[in-house]
Homo-oligomer: A and B are copies of this chain.
């Protein structure tokens, strides 16, 4: 078992990574010790992994709330369903919400835990690579609004994150690749050596080599934990984790949630960010090529959909990372180094989007 610690003052959040962890009675006794437990999962994940979690909980009773699968259910209505279940089960302030599933389940359950009785404990048991390396780490929770992704949410650190790497065995290929987009992003913003390691190991990762996957998860979690530690509430450095996400969110919203996976939209968004970094004179052309090639080798989209530049700009205007009416973008200065800035030529952005997303309102 590997361990990464994310300790924010008096709030400790251990991140535990390894095979078989969902069934570990000792681990769950330690990290899910609350008297009242509510397992939130999805119709897809529960049949696969709830039996093992039940073993891990060693016969202790728990309530459950199963959500329909898919980004389109990441809504305030789903949060309300969980809260109804918590009230029905007469859960008190000392209860624990256990999120068993991917990023959607984790985000919804995390926000429900943040809001129920003004905050109860949440244990994250991520079952997708994307959740294991990114969304379950760091305490951001949210649901979508028709006007934009993740517009309603809270910062609420989980009590712990337990990643059973066996769960990757049941993950569809497409979702595995989508998770790799966030792993590649982590390397790009903070660790050139990790990026080079990914260039060497990408086939092993796609072939689901367990050691390679565990190592990739650990390194991505370490990078994210270090950034969250320096800036829990995204006043500064944490924004770097959004590399590719302004464009990615615009793509997801523009296509309608659920058409592309989040990681797929982020992959195309990372390429746009790298290309724009080059046009701003920040990044060498060869590095843009390395970014594009690695994402393509991971089986991810490297070209945005043809939504049209005007629509993309409008979608970027509603993006959360707009400060004081000014669009801020995360740009690459090198492989392994990024900056968040509002200082870039507007018309160059428009030209890039015309070139890559098409002209007109599409």
The answer to whether B115 touches A154 (Cβ under 8 A) is yes
27 contacts between A and B (CB under 8 A): A35-B325, A36-B325, A76-B76, A83-B145, A84-B145, A87-B148, A88-B147, A90-B317, A90-B318, A92-B324, A93-B322, A94-B323, A94-B324, A114-B154, A115-B153, A116-B151, A117-B153, A117-B320, A118-B141, A118-B142, A118-B150, A118-B154, A118-B155, A118-B233, A118-B234, A119-B233, A154-B154
Given A118-B140, A145-B87, A148-B87, CB of A92 within 8 Å of CB of B153: no
Contact digits for A234-247, partner B, Cβ 8 Å, 1 yes 0 no = 10000000000000
Contact A116 B35, beta carbon cutoff 8 Å: no
Q: Which of A74-92 contact B (CB under 8 A)?
A: 76, 80, 83-84, 87-88, 90, 92
Interface residues of A in 304-332 (CB under 8 A from B): 317-318, 320, 322-325
B151 pairs with A83, CB closer than 8 A: yes
Contacts of A90 in B (CB 8 A): 317-318
Q: A30 to chain B: closest CB distance in Å?
A: 18
Bound-state CA distance A234–B93 (Å) is 11
Measured CA separation A154–B87 after assembly (Å): 17
Number of A interface residues in the complex (CB < 8 A): 40
Q: Is A58 in the interface zone, CB < 8 Å from B?
A: no
* Residue among A36, A80, A115, A141 facing the most chain B CB atoms (10 A cut-off): A115
A interface: dominant SS:
mixed
Of chain B, the residue at the smallest CB distance from A145 is B87
Q: Which of A84, A234, A318, A324 has the most CB of B within 10 A?
A: A324
Q: Is A285 an interface residue (CB 8 A)?
A: no
Contacts of A320 in B (CB 8 A): 92-93, 117
Mark out the residues of chain A between 128 and 172 whose CB falls within 8 Å of any chain B CB in the assembled complex.
140-142, 145-148, 150-155
For A97-140 the 0/1 string (1 means CB < 8 A from B) is 00000000000000000111111000000000000000000001
A76-B76, A90-B317, A145-B87 known; A152 vs B323 contact (CB < 8 Å) = no
Chain B contacts for A234, CB-based, 8 A? 118
Q: Give bound CA distance, A119 to B87, whole Å.
A: 25
Q: Compute how far the CA of A323 lies from the CA of B120 in the bound complex, rounded to whole angstroms.
A: 12
Instruction: Using A87-B151, A93-B320 as known contacts, list a sample of 19 further A-B pairs with CB atoms less than 8 Å apart, ordered by residue number in A.
Output: A35-B324, A36-B325, A76-B76, A76-B80, A83-B151, A84-B147, A87-B145, A87-B146, A87-B148, A87-B318, A92-B320, A92-B322, A92-B325, A94-B323, A114-B154, A115-B153, A116-B152, A118-B153, A119-B233
Pick the contact of A154: B76, B92, B119 (CB < 8 A): B119
The distance from the CB of A264 to the nearest CB of chain B, in whole angstroms, is 24
Smallest CB gap from A323: residue in B: B94
Q: Which residues of B contact A118 (CB under 8 A)?
A: 140-142, 150, 153-155, 233-234
